[in-house]
Amino acid sequence: MSHPVSIPFKSASAAGVVSVSPTSSTLHERMRQNSLASPSVRQPKALHPIENENLRLLLVENISQGAVKAFQSQGWHVDHQAKAMSEDELVEKIGQYHAIGIRSKTKITERVIKAASKLLVIGCFCIGTNQVDLATAAKAGIPVFNSPFSNSRSVAELVISEIVALSRQYFERGYEMRQGLWNKQSKNCWEVRGKTLGIVGYGHIGSQLSVLAEAFGMRVLFYDVVNLMPLGSARQVDSLTTLLTESDFVTLHVPEIPETLNLISKTQLAQMKDGSYLINNARGRVVDIPALIEAVKSGHIAGAALDVYPAEPGANGSPFNDQLNAWSSELRSLKNIILTPHIGGSTEEAQRMIGEEVSGALTRYLTFGSTLSAVNFPEVDLRAIALEEANHVRICYVHLNQPGVLKQVNEVLSPYNVEKQYSDSKGDTAYLMADIADVSLQDVNRLRELISHTSANILTRLLACTDLAAICEICQRRQSPRTDLKNPFGIMAEGFSAFVHWPTAPLTDSLVRKASSAIHTTPTFLDRPTADGKKLLQWASYDSIDHDLTLGNQVDVLSSSYIIRKALIRKHFLSRCIHAHLLKHPESALRNAVPQTWDLDISFADELDDMWADELWDLGKDMDESEAEGKGKWWILKPGMADRGNGIRLFNSKDALQKIFEGFEEDESDGDVGDAEDVDAAPLKDDTAVVTSQLRHFVIQVTSFLIDCFWQRAHSVALVLMQDYILSPLLLDPYQFPVNGGPSNKPEDLKGYKFHLRAYCVASGALKLYLYTRILGLFSSEPFGVPHVAPEDEPSAISLAPHLTNTSLQTHRGEEGVRLFDELVGCHILSGDEQERLTLTAEHIADIQNQMADVLAETFRAALGTAIHFQALPNAFELYGIDFLVSHVPSAASTSPKFQVKILEVNAEPAIELTGPRLTWILEDLFKSIGTVCVEPFFQQDEESASELWAVGETRHYLRKCLEAEVRGAGGW
């Protein structure tokens, strides 16, 4: 259901709540404030963008929490992160967002805009907009808003402080004091009173700066390409040369455009007075920095202050070195050079005001269609629809600026009463807003379809009150988002039925129903699976599916689970099928992707004595050598049928393993295993207590069952896996980028946490395999360390909290331990060679994802090789959760990749609720993608048209195709 939109009266002018002209907003603001005080004036009605609850916004570069809260108050989903994003990251993510907020580091390029199929608006939470391809955005129907005034005072004050700091050299004196050196001197230190300040660019910042400088007793000159009225006693000069030759301090406040690139270079620096100072808080490429370095070295320029640079790091804590800018180290070595990390507008006041201004502009566009103050777009606004004006719809129509368009639109609107209408153009883009009265529910889709199919359409949006908003689609772009299909309109067979039933997974049930309804022909939902003459979709839990229907009708029934798949989802079966596959295919990617594994059937601890001489001989030899030579190797014990981290133990010797099994038997001898509900309800003191209570309870239950069966002379065993424990995992600190935009850990406070990657993959038919490219990182609750236990201690004394990464055992942490892998770009890598400290890059993640795809494909090939335990069906598909670990290979291993992916386990019906509310959107997109790729083609009449070639390695709908195999038999099994 749509959420009500609340626009405070104090900001109503910009919201377009009452009729305004782009050139008369001040007058209308005064009228509005007076009229709103009168009870006889009609009150405005809040409009809603269509499917208001599904609007999703991405805010990067640590945009203020005030903006985040403003958007969330509208009922919109907001993803907020502290760091900037690269072009590749944006191309991967931007397709799911309707709005994005950036600052100066994130670049919105033509490539990004082409990938932004849903993007409606861009907000630059700063002054400049050169980081956005404005022309391409306009052509795509995307207005761009910025905040040209809000941080002006902050930048002006910074410049004043830099003028004083440079003239008194107190940055140098302060540094010397920190080094323990007392160096009191007055040589080449000056008062600023009576000096001349030259301002290049007399806009909002430059004009405020001139007032502050005059208050210090400075003489102010300014140069601008436009004739402007000076404030105070400032004087405009006719050329840049005049300003440079007369000024003691030169400060730059110009945009980055072709005309200003290297505005201050070797020639201009030579024109400046001997012993003068240069300040740049504008844009990094306005100054030729190598030329500045030479001028400072020669003594011609006495000092400089730089807050901006041609290339800047993407995240706090990143290095500012010669790899970023070739001259960085040389610049840092100069005396009386003030270098700051682009903090001109970084004050609490400026960020608050920027957040308010830009979030207000984006909200007004999304909710009312107003483009007032857009920098690349026609500025259009309409007065509000009043509360008593029921059944009104606002049409927001972005189109090519060409003759005849308004005639086409007015022909569509001619049957209706057009209450008000306004149109304007800017370059090749035009924008029309119109309010239509007395629109019925049946009319809404007709209006949208007719207007969006006009020849000049770029983007058509319909805004409505709550009642109408619920029935419309969000927008209609000129280019269909389904151009990758030969059958773009999804021609379906005449109706089909759907059985959806997830009794213990309400989130999955909700996502499945939403994804099923998003298919072009909405199914009829059934309470139980039945063959009623229609095609049937069984998208339900394994136990709820009627598997006889799946096997009996491969043409008309599609089910969401394979029937036989033990080879994947049981640890011991998976281990055995991979082992068998490697014997046949020793070159397989699985060779280095699976830790050495032993699986055994054991009932009692004393059976280990015989096993050391038989099936565990290799393991025993390895343990003896490790203990004798001090190698420090460890192994991990996993029950073959347990899930969610239950039953795990670490050990490093035969004696330790013996004690683990003896401990299980001792616990059983206590008699009462307790009540599971009591264990879950017990207060949890720390992460170790969580692990111990849950694991011991599980193992006791298994041991009790085995002993009872033994006395009944029934054959029963425990299935256990033992693996080499990886002591070199990739380590990151998730608290470097807190999930809620809070303060991040300083570099010296970072700690390495172990994590595993949770990837979702979808197997379809017999057999295609897809990897969902939005991968999660699940972190341990404590920093990683090599396991340690004193010889006299029991193995249970080892704290598992630094080693277990399953979030089901960390419920007290909330969502802190769950991150999108892509969100971790820029994190310091805290594992591997300490001399090789790196940050995680998008290229690292791409390499890891490539390895995951290869390992996943080989794992399913291995499963297909054990037909008795995995049988692919042509009329089935299934979602799996795959757990991977990334080991950090030391740099000495030069022939190996730096990061090595290890597969841990495969889970059917994965516990997706552990993803947490913050990242639920990736699950929504996952299930929609499954509907599009696995379900919809099955029910299309023209199957050939729906099966366009999709190459292995290609990504569509955020699903990367990993494998396409033909299983023997006609159409599968």
Catalytic residues: 283, 312, 342
- Report the SS3 class of residue 703: helix
Q: Rounded to whole angstroms, how far apart are CA atoms 123 and 125? A: 6
In 593-662, at which residue ranges do the beta strands (DSSP E only) sit?
Answer: 597-602, 635-639, 649-651
* Nearest Cα residue to 234 out of 206, 276, 205: 206
Residue 175, amino acid: Y
As given in the structure block, the two tokens for residue 27 are 């007058």
Q: Rounded to whole angstroms, how far apart are CA atoms 272 and 851? A: 57
Name residues whose C-beta falls within 8 Å of residue 687's C-beta, 6 or more positions apart in sequence: 781, 782, 799, 800, 801, 809, 810
* Nearest Cα residue to 99 out of 130, 154, 60, 151: 60
Q: Rounded to whole angstroms, how far apart are CA atoms 847 and 266? A: 43
Q: Rounded to whole angstroms, how far apart are CA atoms 503 and 512? A: 13
Name residues whose C-beta falls within 8 Å of residue 12's C-beta, 6 or more positions apart in sequence: 18, 32, 36, 44
Note the Cα 927 to chain centre separation in Å: 18
Task: Tell me the three-class secondary structure of 227-260, residue by residue.
Answer: CCCCCCCCEECCCHHHHHHHCCEEEECCCCCHHH
Strand 959-964 to strand 496-501: parallel, antiparallel, or no bridges (unpaired)? Answer: unpaired
Q: Rounded to whole angstroms, how far apart are CA atoms 519 and 522? A: 6
* Nearest Cα residue to 434 out of 379, 391, 392, 469: 392
Q: Rounded to whole angstroms, how far apart are CA atoms 184 and 191? A: 16
* Nearest Cα residue to 874 out of 428, 498, 557, 469: 557
Provide φ and ψ at 477, rounded to 5°: -90, 165
Q: In what order do the strands lie in the sheet with 196-200?
A: 235-236, 219-223, 196-200, 249-252, 276-280, 301-306, 337-339
Q: Rounded to whole angstroms, how far apart are CA atoms 94 and 122? A: 11
Residue reference for tokens 């393993």: 657
Measured at the CA of 531, the angle between CA 527 and CA 533, to 5 degrees, comes to 115
Q: Rounded to whole angstroms, how far apart are CA atoms 152 and 869? A: 68
Residue reference for tokens 């993959």: 761
Q: Rounded to whole angstroms, how far apart are CA atoms 344 and 158? A: 6
CA dihedral (318, 324, 330, 336) positive or negative: negative
Polymer length in residues for the chain: 973
- Report the SS3 class of residue 417: strand
Q: How far is CA 731 from CA 728, 734, 750, 778, 845, in A?
A: 9, 10, 11, 12, 14
Note the Cα 885 to chain centre separation in Å: 21
